[in-house]
Amino acid sequence: MKNLIFCIVLLSNAQYAYADMTLEFKELINKEFITYSVKDEHLKFIQAEQNRINLFNQKNQLFISFDPESGQSAMFNEKVLALRVNQLNKKRLDQLAKVESNLGEKLPTMSLEEQEVGESLVNLLKYPEMYGEHTLLTVKKSDTLKQIQNISCQVYQLYRAKQRIKEFCMADAKALKMSAKDYQTFRSFYAFNYNMQTRLMIAMGNTRFDLVNYKQQKIPGIAIESINYNGAKVTQHLILNLINSHTLPKTEFTLPRPTTTK
């Protein structure tokens, strides 16, 4: 009897978990749309205003951004990322050498305040992972639950020091009626995207970002709303516009041939 009940529960859950998912988001300020599609460990996203197709392969941890008109593409995996990070680190350290040389020449005539500013700049260029503004980021779980497109989500807030800079709402796989495989593909893309962007920016010495490492922060779910703030002003508001579970052809996740013009 216990085994029968277990099988019934599995069958009951399965009817609410779809194999393919498409989520369309609307940017309420710029009126732009972003569409995410996921199938069989592949994720595709398209920004309506940009003529590019972006594909992520979870199994190979490979990201490709493709321009159909020119046929040009940019490919990222761990090997390419490491190479680019090394190049950017070299440029940053070259800049550091120039800053240290200039400070050395001006140090005798600099005020104490100017010396502190110079030291902060040197530290940021030398050790961006330790002194960058990203070290001031903290995430707080709100008491607020929202309903977006009849989907329940949990609100979190991102602060830089004491300034709220972002609010996002996370929906779990059950609320989205998303299969475990598609959910894992989304989460893998989040991790890949965070790793790729933050490592590139830190290598450049640019650490003023608002990206969240959901895994490290132990935040489950898929973001179905994201609001960016500059003080009290909303600068970006991305929200789930529609969701469907139509079966997607595999050709949706392969690169098309580039268009040609005579």
* Residue 256: per-residue pLDDT: 61
The answer as to whether 69 is a domain residue is no
- Do the domain assignments include residue 121? yes
Establish if 204 belongs to a structural domain: yes
98 band by pLDDT with thresholds 50, 70 and 90: confident
Residues in CB range of 114: below 8 A, 6 or more apart: none
Q: CB of 233 within 8 A of CB of 165?
A: no
The tens digit of pLDDT for each residue in 135-152 reads 999 999 999 999 999 999
Indicate if the pLDDT at residue 174 is higher than 70: yes
Cα 230 to Cα 10, 223, 260: the distances in Å are 46, 20, 43
- The verdict on 237 and 182 lying in the same domain is yes
Q: Is residue 199 part of a domain?
A: yes
- The most distant pair of C-alpha atoms in the chain lies apart, rounded to whole Å, by 86
- Supply the mean pLDDT for the chain: 87
Same domain? For 116 and 139 the reply is no
Domain assignment of residue 201, yes or no: yes
User: Higher pLDDT residue, 49 or 9?
Assistant: 49
pLDDT surpasses 60 at 5:
no
Asked whether the beta carbons of 169 and 223 are under 8 A apart, the reply is yes
Q: 257: pLDDT confidence band, cut at 50, 70 and 90? A: low
Tell me, yes or no, whether 157 and 30 share the same domain.
yes
Residue 100 sits in the same domain as residue 220 = no
What domain range is 110 assigned to?
82-126
pLDDT interval class at 221 (50, 70, 90): very high
Q: Confirm whether 70 is domain-assigned.
A: no
Based on the fold, state whether residues 148 and 203 are members of the same structural domain. yes
pLDDT at 6 over 60: no
Domain count, the chain: 2
Interval 163-170 mean pLDDT: 98
| 248 part of a folded domain | no
